[in-house]
Structure 1
Amino acid sequence: MENKVGNRWLVVVGAVMIQLCLGAVYIWSLFNQPLIDKYGWDPAGVVTTFSITIFVFAFFTIIAGRIQDKIGPRWVATAGGILLFIGMFLASKATTLTQLYIYYGLIGGAGIGTAYVCPLATCVKWFPDKRGLISGIAVAGFGLGGMLFKPIATHFLTIYDVSQTFMYLGLIYLVFVVLGAQLLKNPPAGYCPPGWTPPQDAGKGGSGVDFTPGQMLGTYQFYLLWVMYLFACTAGLMVIGFAKDIGTQLVGLDALIAANAVVIIALFNAAGRIVWGTLSDKIGRTTALMAMYILSALAMFYMSKVPMNYTTFLIACSAVGFCFGGFLGLFPSLVADYYGTANMGMNYGIVFMAYGTAAIVGPRIGASMPFTQAFMVAGILCVIALVLTFLVKAPQPKNA
């Protein structure tokens, strides 16, 4: 019974504490100009730090996922918080771009990836009755992290230089990630919430079987899911990475006004993770995915072909952020449905590499051609992903 194993919602509290800090990675753009002003570094080189961080973050979810599947989430998440602090501390001492890449990008990104997968894998195990909702809540904190830490970092930058800001932010991350990690623990084997009976069909199209990472890689569904995730995140990260520039260059807005899109995207990003996750529990993951790809494609085609004003620009950005958050909230549930929860940490870590790849592909597409053309490419990718959803079915174990 739940009253004998503790309150499962405490795990959610710990998950949100961790994810709020990890999601602060999205405030990197605040550091670009201060670093350029202080060291005279190449602007493109400074911006590259963000792509390195996201890629390393995604890669380390695989390693951390494997470890937390074996020893549990608490110590792995704790290690992630410590690693993130070390990266931030060393970044505060960096005097070359190479050092920044290693300290913030490699070490800091490794810390984020190490801690990130633990709340997701743990929450999904505690809430088999609400997988979509709980995955959404667990990752909504990551989406809100940028909003929470933007004013904090901005305040630090007004009274300290950028190096000191890295130090103080690192200390905050250390405290709250480590505290949140202490609330993470796996449920007892075979745990079921009181009053809930596992459905005979293993849920919304689920397989009802725990796959090892090797078995997952042996299914065609994995490769379809990976490509679908890649295309979804490519479109979202393209707009997120260039939201301010799109507003100034394409819509003709003042830089300060265009920056409002960053806040709007963050809000709808967080909301989408919860709303789409909850909706997918009711209508099924595939149906929810189809709706998100359609909305994403329409937003991209609209931004590509229709002249925008301030209002329509924000509406389009809202739609993109809403769906982007939904994809990040829904795919963990989909992986759990298809491949079980026993190896959820590593299995989702492998799928999540699609996000890390998109962090490189999306901005590259946005930077290599006019925004209108880039949006058209992203819209086409969303249409292709929509078609792939018709081909995805729950995998069946070979010995079934």
Structure 2
Amino acid sequence: MMEEKVMNRWLVVMGAVMVQMCLGAIYAWSVFTGALQEAGWTAAQTQVVFSVALVSYALSMVGAGFKLNVVGPRKMAILGGLILGTGYIIAGLFGGTNFWMLLIFIGIVGGTGIGVGYVVPIAVGMRWFPDKKGLITGLAVAGFGLGAMLWVKLAGTTGNLIANFGLPTTFVILGVLFAVFVTIGGLFMVFPPEGWLPEGYVPETGEAGSTQVAGVEYGAGEMVKTPQFWMIFFTFAFLASAGLMSIGLMQLYPMEALMNNGMDRASAVAVAGTAMAVFFSIANALGRVAWGSISDILGRKNSLIILAFTQGLGVMAFTYMAGTPMLLYIGAALIGFNFGGTLSLFPTLTADTFGSQNVGRNYPLVFLAYGAGALLGPNLGGVMGGMGNFALAFTICGVLCIMGGVLTVLLRPPRRCENVENCAEMEAA
């Protein structure tokens, strides 16, 4: 019998990055807000569309995860791209700058397309790279972050799409690009043949200190009943809260701290802008790949423990660093680096703990913690900032990160109890 020809697995990486770069459109929304405000929108209206897109993204990802194995990754990825592209195209052709049209077709439809496609590259990449799960997941989520920078530049100061063609036409152009490039990348989104393993790879055996039990696969219903799921969920929510709050305040809080230390407003704005646009953003992208690679060496649990404690200390120390330019840059880079790592470690931790075969269905449920963090962190920062106490917001989030680190230290592999005899053995162990 002829041996089945297997696709070069690095083509999967190329396709995954291409898909994720388009789905990263959600984080490019800020490039449109200036033109929308000139068209009569309030700042609050611009944020409503962004928030609705985030919620649609998280919720639709859960539904897509449950259908991934039924529909297939190639069709699911292409479907996500077509939904995303169609949303932007309709918003441009018929919405223009109409609030309700953009809320529906970019916020709801576009956000849904992102959620439908997002989990595909992660699930497919882990199947093809069981030996490099951290690295491949890091590359995929880094593509998501870098895509935002690409679309901001294309629509904004480099490509000048908004300036040259106006906002409606820009939405149409981007919608077409999203649909085309996700479709091309989606063609490579296929699972490897059943039983395939990379040459020379020996599956992990669940060594001490790991959250993995070799060969064990948990369905979504089983997973959410385990204490391990909730430990991972709350750790993710705590780390996401700190990262997302820092993103919201990374410019505003340092400006205040720098001016309190005697810097004039113009200089403070420039220094704070550099901290966010350069140090935080670049470190955020690098952290996704670096922490993924580190976790392939140290293990997901050990890597997350280090990340959680260093993030907690860094976020708390940021209250003392924000008023000095050099320390501000170091603090912004550290927080950004760890926040990027958060988004690459949790997919692989989910796979290690509950099995790689069901990660497409299981990780979206874990990812809901990111939505919880999006509600907690930025709102905490807003309330504390309104009271003139940014430092307390950073301190609270730092403590939450350390609590997440403690939860991770306590994390152990889940154990199935299939019959009374097994239960007795487990209790004795």
TM-score (norm 2): 0.88
More contact order relative to length (CA 8 Å, sep ≥ 6): 1
Give the aligned partner of residue 32 of structure 1: 33
Give deviations 1:126-154, integer Å, cap 9, x for gaps: 11111111111111111211222221110
Specify whether residues 182 and 311 from structure 1 end up closer, same or farther in structure 2 by C-alpha distance, changes over 3 A only.
Answer: same
Give the aligned partner of residue 263 of structure 2: none
Give the aligned partner of residue 112 of structure 2: 110
Q: Secondary structure at the match of 1:250?
A: helix
Specify whether residues 75 and 125 from structure 1 end up closer, same or farther in structure 2 by C-alpha distance, changes over 3 A only.
Answer: same
* Paired residue total: 399
State the distance in 2 between where 1:221 and 1:76 align: 29
- Judge conservation of contact 2:321–2:331 (CA < 8 Å) in 1: no
Give the aligned partner of residue 388 of structure 1: 407
**Shift in Å at residue 11 of structure 1?**
0.6
Give the aligned partner of residue 174 of structure 2: 169
**Shift in Å at residue 368 of structure 1?**
1.6
Give the aligned partner of residue 396 of structure 2: 377
Give deviations 1:165-201, integer Å, cap 9, x for gaps: 2222212111111110001100111221111111333
**Shift in Å at residue 382 of structure 1?**
0.7
State the distance in 1 between where 2:375 and 2:49 align: 11
- Judge conservation of contact 2:65–2:360 (CA < 8 Å) in 1: yes
Corresponding residue to 1:341 among 343, 356, 375: 356
The residue identity in structure 2 corresponding to 1:387 is V
State the distance in 2 between where 1:60 and 1:270 align: 25
Q: Secondary structure at the match of 1:4?
A: coil
State the distance in 2 between where 1:230 and 1:82 align: 30
Give the aligned partner of residue 126 of structure 1: 128
Q: 49-58 or 260-269: which moved more?
A: 260-269
**Shift in Å at residue 362 of structure 1?**
2.3
Give the aligned partner of residue 227 of structure 1: 234
Give the aligned partner of residue 343 of structure 2: 328
Structure 2 unpaired stretches of 5+? 260-266, 423-429
Corresponding residue to 1:295 among 300, 310, 319: 310
Corresponding residue to 2:253 among 242, 246, 253: 246
State the distance in 1 between where 2:46 and 2:325 align: 29
Q: Secondary structure at the match of 1:241?
A: helix
1:207 counterpart = 2:213: yes
Q: 257-266 or 135-144: which moved more?
A: 257-266
State the distance in 2 between where 1:164 and 1:251 align: 40
Specify whether residues 129 and 306 from structure 1 end up closer, same or farther in structure 2 by C-alpha distance, changes over 3 A only.
Answer: closer
Give the aligned partner of residue 259 of structure 1: 273
- Judge conservation of contact 1:66–1:343 (CA < 8 Å) in 2: no
Q: 300-309 or 380-389: which moved more?
A: 300-309
State the distance in 1 between where 2:166 and 2:254 align: 28
- Judge conservation of contact 1:91–1:166 (CA < 8 Å) in 2: yes
TM-score (norm 1): 0.94
Q: 204-213 or 75-84: which moved more?
A: 204-213
Give deviations 1:261-299, integer Å, cap 9, x for gaps: 224322211211111111111112121111111221122
- Judge conservation of contact 1:53–1:106 (CA < 8 Å) in 2: yes
The residue identity in structure 2 corresponding to 1:250 is A
Give the aligned partner of residue 368 of structure 1: 383
1:296-311 alignment runs, 5 A limit: 296-311=311-326
The residue identity in structure 2 corresponding to 1:151 is K
**Shift in Å at residue 2 of structure 1?**
9.9
Specify whether residues 278 and 181 from structure 1 end up closer, same or farther in structure 2 by C-alpha distance, changes over 3 A only.
Answer: same
Give deviations 1:201-252, integer Å, cap 9, x for gaps: 3794312211110110111100110111111111111122333333433334
Give the aligned partner of residue 17 of structure 1: 18
Specify whether residues 251 and 168 from structure 1 end up closer, same or farther in structure 2 by C-alpha distance, changes over 3 A only.
Answer: farther
Give the aligned partner of residue 217 of structure 1: 224
The residue identity in structure 2 corresponding to 1:215 is E
Give the aligned partner of residue 316 of structure 1: 331
State the distance in 2 between where 1:102 and 1:241 align: 25
**Shift in Å at residue 378 of structure 1?**
1.2
Specify whether residues 2 and 102 from structure 1 end up closer, same or farther in structure 2 by C-alpha distance, changes over 3 A only.
Answer: farther
Deviating beyond 6 angstroms after TM superposition, the runs of 4 or more aligned structure 1 residues are none
Identity %: 39
- Judge conservation of contact 1:244–1:262 (CA < 8 Å) in 2: no
**Shift in Å at residue 306 of structure 1?**
4.2
Give deviations 1:91-141, integer Å, cap 9, x for gaps: 323344333222211111100011110000000011111111111111111
Give deviations 1:46-74, integer Å, cap 9, x for gaps: 12222221121111111111111223210
State the distance in 2 between where 1:51 and 1:361 align: 13
Give the aligned partner of residue 144 of structure 2: 142
State the distance in 2 between where 1:384 and 1:323 align: 16
Bigger radius of gyration: 2
Give the aligned partner of residue 294 of structure 2: 279
Give the aligned partner of residue 100 of structure 2: 98
- Judge conservation of contact 2:280–2:337 (CA < 8 Å) in 1: yes
State the distance in 1 between where 2:237 and 2:32 align: 27
Specify whether residues 337 and 295 from structure 1 end up closer, same or farther in structure 2 by C-alpha distance, changes over 3 A only.
Answer: same
- Judge conservation of contact 1:131–1:333 (CA < 8 Å) in 2: yes
The residue identity in structure 1 corresponding to 2:135 is L
Give the aligned partner of residue 427 of structure 2: none
Structure 1 unpaired stretches of 5+? none
- Judge conservation of contact 2:88–2:110 (CA < 8 Å) in 1: yes
